[in-house]
Every structure is written in C-alpha cells, then in structure tokens.
A and B are shown apart, each in its own frame.
Chain A
Amino acid sequence: EDQVTQSPEALRLQEGESSSLNCSYTVSGLRGLFWYRQDPGKGPEFLFTLYSAGEEKEKERLKATLTKKESFLHITAPKPEDSATYLCAVLGGGFKTIFGAGTRLFVKA
C-alpha cells in the first residue's frame, strides 16, 4: 500500500539555525513528489515538484532533494516568516496522490 510518513511532527528552530524535514515514502512507480507550505487556516501553497531520484530544486531558503525512498526539505538560515506546516505528497503508479500529515515548523527570532 502506498504510504507517506513525515518527520518530525514538529520542529522548533532558532532564527538562522538550518535544518531538514524528512518525507519517507513507499509507492509503486513514483510519478512525482510534491512539497507544499500551509499557513494556519489557509490552503496549501505549492513549493516544488520532484520527479526522479537525484533531482534537486531550490527556492529562496528552501531546497528539496529526492532519493528512491525519501525526500528532504532543507531550510537554510530560517526566518520567523518560514514558520508554517510543510506538507509532502507523492503520486504513484496507481494514479493516486497520497499526502503526509505534515511537519509543523516554528522559527523563533
């Protein structure tokens, strides 16, 4: 069965303290892995799509990487405005998008 697990559930950082969020997945025939940012009470905002192992994408302080079993969202020198829930989702060969429960990130000034 296709599955997505995100860790940690919550992460507290000081401003400027770099770290990584993990998304482990089990899926038959990965067609795409997606990262979203979600602020409280709002809809998810699209960040990245990764299609194959070894692929990397960057946007400002965020960098997403992909292996055959997991994806990392690296946050470099985070700021308080980076505080949000980050969602990972995978699209497998069964043509179904599976979402993880998310990682809540708190960045303190």
Chain B
Amino acid sequence: DGGITQSPKYLFRKEGQNVTLSCEQNLNHDAMYWYRQDPGQGLRLIYYSQIVNDFQKGDIAEGYSVSREKKESFPLTVTSAQKNPTAFYLCASSINGPHTDTQYFGPGTRLTVL
C-alpha cells in the first residue's frame, strides 16, 4: 500500500536536546511538507521541499532544520533553539508542487518536552 509513514508516534525530549522526526513516502510525490499543529490553531508550515536537495522555509522555521537527500524521505530536526517544541507534527506530500495541489498527510508525531 502506498502512503506516508512517520516515526516515532510519540517522542519525549529533554531541554537542550535535538531530536529528529522521520517522514517517508512511497507515493512517488515530488513535494513534501512539515506542519506543526497546536490546539485551537490551524496547521502552520515549518518547511517544504519540491525536489531532492532543495527546501524552503515556511512560516515558523526558526528552531527547526530539514534535509531532502532522497525523494522518499524528509526528516525534521527540532533543535534546542526551538523554545516551545511541544506539539503534534505532521508530514505531508503532494504529487506536484509545492503548493499546487492536494496534500496527503502522515499519521503524525507527538513531541513532548520534559
């Protein structure tokens, strides 16, 4: 079955630590995205990528970093510079893009800072 996988489902981080969230897709989609979801707010775009080795900052990129070494993979690192990282993180992909058509989402990773 084609789809988007994210791991881990739950992640706990101590203050000052960097953590990396995994996102893999086997849909052969060109574009991939990372969003952050907080209660009562719409999804906010962190980073997006249209092709391998290229990515662009979204609205809230500070304290985050990404890489796109393979078409199928778009990992997100939450660095110690992100002061309020506790949130639900969603990865998405679209056939073309970025921001040209329907985005499909993974199951999400819930990150909690201890």
Judge if A42 is at the interface, Cβ distance under 8 Å. Answer: yes
Within 8 Å by CB of B106, from A32, A43, A49, A95, lies A43
A95 to B81, CA, bound (A): 28
10 A-B pairs, CB-CB below 8 angstroms? A34-B102, A43-B107, A43-B108, A49-B102, A91-B100, A91-B101, A95-B98, A95-B99, A96-B99, A97-B103
Which residue in B90, B100, B101, B110 is a CB contact (below 8 Å) of A44? Answer: B90
Q: Once the chains bind, are A91 and B99 in contact (CB under 8 Å)?
A: yes
Q: What are the interface flags for A36-56 relative to B under an 8 Å C-beta threshold, 1 for contact and 0 otherwise?
A: 100001111110010000000
Give the contact stretch, choosing among B14-22, B37-45, B63-71, B72-80.
B37-45
CA distance A96 to B106 in the complex (A): 20
Write the chain A residue with the least CB distance to B103.
Answer: A97
Does A43 lie within 8 Å of B105, measured CB to CB?
A: yes
**Would you call B104 an interface residue if the criterion is a C-beta within 8 Å of the partner chain's C-beta atoms?**
yes
Q: Is A32's CB under 8 angstroms from B101's CB?
A: yes
B4: A residues at CB distance < 8 A: 43
Segment at the interface with B among A11-19, A64-72, A73-81, A99-107: A99-107
CB contacts (< 8 Å) of B102 on chain A: these are 32, 34, 46, 49
Q: How far is the CB of A55 from chain B (nearest CB, A)?
A: 14
Other CB < 8 Å A-B pairs besides A95-B100, A99-B35, 18 of them? A4-B42, A31-B100, A32-B101, A32-B102, A43-B4, A43-B90, A43-B106, A43-B107, A43-B108, A44-B90, A45-B105, A46-B105, A49-B101, A95-B98, A95-B99, A97-B45, A98-B42, A100-B42
Tally of chain B residues near chain A (CB < 8 A)? 22
A87 and B99 alpha carbons, distance in the complex (Å): 17
A32: chain B residues within 8 A (beta carbon): 101-102
Bound-state Cα–Cα, A46 to B4, Å: 13
* Closest B residue, CB atoms, query A31: B100
Chain B positions within 8 Å of A101 at CB level: 40-42
Rounded to whole angstroms, the CA-CA distance of A46 and B104 in the bound complex is 7
In this complex, what residue of B is CB-closest to A51? B101
